[in-house]
Amino acid sequence: MNDPKKMFLRCLVGLIAMILYFSALALIPIGQAVTLQYTAPLFVALLSGSLIREKVSTSVLISLVTAFIGIILIVSPDLDSIDPNALLALGSGLFAGLAYIFVRDLRKTDSPSTVVFWFAAFSVAGSVIQAAPELTNLTWEMLAALVGIGVGAGGGQVGITMAYHQANAAWVSAFSYLTVIIATIYGIILFDEVLSTKIIIGGLLIIGSGVALIFFTPSTNE
């Protein structure tokens, strides 16, 4: 580890994002939670200019405004009250975006495997402390599910970390929107979840804005 401060910040904001995300999944439909969590690429585009000096164009800013309208439709469908549970998922997106920016910056000092290792170690330590009171209640089925989550999440972390080391932060993030579509389908098929028209429209605005970043933000290997 060559930059302990940035590595710690990457791990901290990543853990916060993970806690907020799993909390939201237990309270709101999967499609809604994943859509709001995947505002992370938009936060990357918004903040990368000031934090790691990546250029943010006018076109990207237009995408951010469009996505903000989508966020309003999901967080406050009736436009006169805010769903606090949805804010958990939105907060997850913010902190995940910060984590991705730190990953992008850490490419200058550390390898992808180093970044993944320290995040995994930090997350395990933080999660064990939080979950300690419930560990004695684990069943074999729950343990198997947790192992599956860990393997899947670990593989995803390796892939996304390597991608952020190789290409522009906002450009790489846009591809992650495929997860939103898949998660929504899972929620409908497996859990009979129903999304309102406003939430669907809001989700489409957010997804469209994220995908648009592919065209507005050039890839780079600098």
Q: What does the pLDDT read at residue 91?
A: 92
Total structural domains within the chain: 1
The answer to whether residue 221 is domain-embedded is: no
Work out the pLDDT band at 64, boundaries 50, 70, 90.
confident
Output the average pLDDT for the chain: 79
Single-letter amino acid, residue 29: P
The answer to whether residue 128 is domain-embedded is: yes
| pLDDT per residue as tens digits for the range 134-177 | 777 778 888 888 788 778 777 776 777 777 677 766 666 666 66
Least confident piece of the model among 100-114, 120-134, 158-172: 158-172
Contact status, residue 91 vs residue 20, Cβ threshold 8 Å: yes
- pLDDT of 80 higher than 70: no
Distances (CA, A) of 137 to 22, 25, 131, 140, 150: 19, 21, 11, 10, 19
- pLDDT of 221 higher than 50: no
The answer to whether residue 31 is domain-embedded is: yes
* For residues 3-30, average pLDDT: 88
Instruction: Compute the CA torsion angle 84, 86, 88, 92 (nearest 10 deg).
Output: -160
- pLDDT of 90 higher than 80: yes
The answer to whether residue 201 is domain-embedded is: yes
Contact status, residue 150 vs residue 190, Cβ threshold 8 Å: no
* For residues 179-191, average pLDDT: 82
Contact status, residue 57 vs residue 128, Cβ threshold 8 Å: no
CA gap 79, 161 in Å, rounded: 37
* For residues 193-217, average pLDDT: 78
The answer to whether residue 144 is domain-embedded is: yes
Rounded to the nearest angstrom, the gap between the alpha carbon of residue 212 and the centroid of all alpha carbons in its chain is 18
Sorted by sequence, the CB contacts under 8 Å of residue 48 that are 6+ apart come out as 54, 56, 101, 104, 169, 170
* For residues 88-109, average pLDDT: 87
Domain that holds residue 152: 4-216
The answer to whether residue 222 is domain-embedded is: no
* For residues 95-101, average pLDDT: 88
Contact status, residue 172 vs residue 163, Cβ threshold 8 Å: yes
Position with higher pLDDT, 13 vs 165: 13
Write down the pTM of the prediction. 0.71
Q: Among residues 214, 124, 132, 201, which one has the least CA distance to residue 169? A: 214
Work out the pLDDT band at 54, boundaries 50, 70, 90.
low
Question: In the chain, pLDDT over 70 holds for what percent of residues?
Answer: 83
* For residues 93-116, average pLDDT: 84
The answer to whether residue 166 is domain-embedded is: yes
